[in-house]
Amino acid sequence: MVLSYEFSIGSVRVKEKNLLSLADYEQMLNFKSKSELLRFLKDKGYGEGETLDEILDSNREKMWRYIKSTAPDFSIFDPFFLQNDNHNLKTVLKGLMYEKDYTDLIIAPYTIKPEEMKKAIENKKFSVLPEWLAPSAEEAYQLLAQTRDARLSDAVLDRAVLEKMNVESKKSKSDFLTRYFNTVIFYANIKIALRAARLKPSKQFLDIALCDCERFDKDMVITKTLMGNEVLLKYLEKVDAYDCQKAIKHYTEKSEELEKFVDNKLMALAKQECKLTSEGAEPLFGYYTGCEYERKAIHMIASGIVTQTPPEQIRERLRDIYG
């Protein structure tokens, strides 16, 4: 059957109704044991398995099967898969370098087969990898082999993937993807700078780690970061791009609030651009975003149950939902 976006939009609107509701989250927050949570998820048909990880993995596989069967062009999701490619390459590289088994750590879907990564690293022939990744993969390998500096090696790969996300999102001609990944890349840079400012970084590290992106002054951020955390914060408090002023206000009040602010900003964008539109691929992107944030929320609730964290504290950490 030849799929169309008219068909996929009608289908995904029905599927959205199966996402967890606020009432579901409130019920989960009141569970006293992890077994109660697992039973609830299985009764809801959320996923199969005996452990939380198995249920969540099952749910993710089910989501991708559905999207693949519904999307007229599955490659439109490639910008999201790049994060998995990045994780997998780091995992394969360190597994081979330190002679540790990594097979259970591979994440799917991906755009590059882990076998190709393994072949490139073992044979030191990085040209078998995609052109956008090959130079960075070789540089990351050399850094890890010569200096054992995993942080710098990771930074090389992180920047390559962020740059590729930027290219792919623009190539998609989707306003949502462009705005979504501009936001992701901007705040990836901000988080790198904030962490680095507390650790007295070298200019070399910042040059490697930070990625050029729209409305981000890389040279200025490097200058301010090298001057220390207080100077960097004063600068960022005046940056209005992507609501940075609000983000830094949250960060200075409570550092972990930055992650929540960014997640909620991305969710608001998905609800604005995807939930209210009736054409193109955006409704599928919105459904995917809703599913991903749903699993993140379940992880937070499960962790809170294990640590016996009061429900009101867990509730404060939860992000906005797509529903």
Instruction: Tell me the backbone φ, ψ of residue 132, rounded to 5 degrees.
Output: -70, -20
- Letter string b/e over residues 229-267, b meaning 16 or more CB atoms within 10 A of that residue's CB: beebeebbeebeebbbeebbebbeeeeebbebbbbebbb
pLDDT digits (tens, 9 = 90+) for 38-83: 999 999 999 999 999 999 999 999 999 999 999 998 989 999 999 9
Phi-psi category of residue 164: left, alpha or beta, with phi > 0 → left and psi -120 to 50 → alpha: alpha
pLDDT at residue 2, rounded to an integer:
47
Q: What is the pTM of this model?
A: 0.91
Instruction: Give the amino acid at 177.
Output: L
pLDDT at residue 59, rounded to an integer:
95
Q: Which residues of the chain have pLDDT under 50?
A: 1-2
As to burial, measured by CB atoms within 10 angstroms (0-12 exposed, 13-18 middle, 19+ buried), residue 134 is: middle
pLDDT at residue 323, rounded to an integer:
75
pLDDT at residue 1, rounded to an integer:
46
